[in-house]
Amino acid sequence: MLRRFNLTLNKLLEKPEIIFVILAFIFGSIFLFQTPPFEVPDEPNHLLRTCEIADFIFYSKTPVQDTDYDKYFLNIDKSSYIKKNSDNNKYNCMQREKAQFHAASRNSAIMYIIPALGIKIGSLFTQDGNILFYIGRFLNLLLYISLSALAIKITPVFKYPFMYVALLPMALFEGMSYSADSFNNAFAFFFFAFIFNLIFSKNEITKKDFIILSILSCICAMCKGLVFYLFLLLLLPTFSKEFRFKKYLYIVILILVSFFICQYWIAINSNNLNSKYPVINDFLYIFKYPMVVFQKICITSLLNIVNYFKQTIGVLGWLHIFLRPDVYVFGFMSFISMIIFIKEKISFKFRITALLIILASYFIIQYTLLIYWSNPNAQIINGFQGRYLIPMLPLLFIVFANSKFTFSEKIIKTYKILLIISIVYMLISSYFTLNVFYNVLGLDRNIMDDFLNNKVQLINKSDIN
């Protein structure tokens, strides 16, 4: 019996994608029903964008177009849970005025197709907004799980780090929501895994690889910031004889086409940048004041590094629900431990390329927030959130990978088990933390404490008797 258990455990540990699917489905479903509507960052706006896609409104125009699917969600009951205090009532954002863009207007349709399809099909059977809302969420969760599991399966390196990142409370919390980050993060994982597979497992690129890579690159161009990861293509192996284009010529053309698609999308949605500070709303600001930009980004990063870390691990709800301090400790220690115990042979060129991509992506995001959303007179940049770093995390493992120290199989097996236990603990702790704020089942969170206290009292009385 023990031997059979060990064999089963060994096989399971060799397939982290299965472990991921089990944990992601269980805890993702719990988060999905535990978290009330609109309690994920910008979820009302993302739901509205989903409604537009369901009504075949693929890009925003002026004036804003009406969609038939808004009406299903206007009367969702939001009175049974704690509302985040806010100067403006975010729960009214489903009701728009003409010529007014919402915060998700600029996002491409590709990130909302699956939940939009769920709402569209679901509306054929019910017009209950509460049911339709959770149908869309559930399909987005399934898409997140599918893409992330496929990424873990096909990547030849860092399988457990991929699983860890995809199961972070923040990543899974967004994965079960209408947020564009659900698709964005999962697709980033899959794209990295596909690129890693080409780099580490193949000696040459086939025609089939070329076609798939071209499609994925175009999708990257329509996601949030993923177009910058295309510079990983510079590390691809040589092309096969059946595909005669020169390697770097193809890469340059593909990157240019992808950037053109990205910029064209921004151009046709240029009116949705809603800047409060038009003085600084200037793309060339960096050329006018390069040292000012550099100083602001450095100061912002130093002052917010702890918050960015916490938000990457998990600050749930409308970014107002902090987890227990030990969860952040577990998250940090798990990350460091994977760098130590998981050995991969990574070239210096690959490390430098990954580091440059991370720095460039981070700088561009901060700079975009500076010129469009920040007060030009402030010393820090507003708007950056740690969850924006989640798609970059696989590249961090490339940068800091252990290529020297080797551990025995027994130690690695024990380590993998402890890592899984750590992940489960973080997710369970996230559930209890969410339950403090969102008691959607109508159960008093103190019931269990009262029950345990009464039980202790009964035991003490029996001991006395």
Give tens-digit pLDDT for 246-299. 777 888 888 899 888 888 887 776 555 555 665 566 667 788 888 988 999 999
Residue 94 pLDDT level (bands cut at 50, 70, 90)? low
Residue 82 pLDDT level (bands cut at 50, 70, 90)? very low
What is the per-residue pLDDT for 267? 72
Domain that holds residue 63: 2-464
What is the per-residue pLDDT for 80? 43
Residue 379 predicted with pLDDT over 60: yes
Q: How many domains does the chain have?
A: 1
Report the mean per-residue pLDDT for the chain: 83
Task: Give 13 or 16, the one with higher predicted confidence.
Answer: 16
What percent of the chain stands above pLDDT 70?
A: 82
Q: What are phi and psi of 343, to 5 degrees?
A: -95, 130
Q: Residue 312 corresponds to which tokens in the numbers above?
A: 């990457």
- Provide the H-helix boundaries in 41-81: 43-54
DSSP letters for 216-267? HHHHHHTSSSGGGGGGGGGG--EEPTTS-S-HHHHHHHHHHHHHHHHHHHHH
CA distance 136 to 114: 8
What is the C-alpha radius of gyration for the chain, rounded to an integer number of angstroms? 24
What is the per-residue pLDDT for 186? 97
- Lowest mean pLDDT: which of 29-43, 99-113, 160-174, 416-430? 99-113
CA distance 351 to 346: 7
Give tens-digit pLDDT for 208-229. 888 899 999 999 989 988 888 8
What is the amino acid identity at position 428? I
What is the per-residue pLDDT for 65? 64
What is the per-residue pLDDT for 378? 80
Residue 75 predicted with pLDDT over 90: no
CA distance 148 to 143: 8
Q: Is 322 helix (H, G, I), strand (E, B) or coil?
A: strand
Q: Any residues with CB less than 8 A from the CB of 10 and at least 6 apart, and which?
A: 413
Q: What is the mean pLDDT of residues 410-427?
A: 94
Residue 459 predicted with pLDDT over 50: no
Give tens-digit pLDDT for 303-336. 999 999 999 999 998 888 999 999 999 999 999 9
Q: What is the mean pLDDT of residues 384-398?
A: 93
What is the per-residue pLDDT for 447? 43
Residue 86 predicted with pLDDT over 60: no
What is the per-residue pLDDT for 98? 53
Q: Is 70 helix (H, G, I), strand (E, B) or coil?
A: helix
Residue 101 predicted with pLDDT over 70: no
What is the per-residue pLDDT for 226? 85
**CA 98, chain centre distance (Å):** 31
- Lowest mean pLDDT: which of 58-67, 211-220, 238-247, 451-460? 451-460
Q: What is the mean pLDDT of residues 82-110?
A: 59
Other residues' Cβ atoms within 10 Å of the Cβ of residue 403: 12
Give tens-digit pLDDT for 113-170. 999 999 999 999 988 888 999 999 999 999 999 999 999 999 999 999 999 999 999 9
Give tens-digit pLDDT for 339-355. 999 989 898 989 999 99
Residue 383 pLDDT level (bands cut at 50, 70, 90)? confident
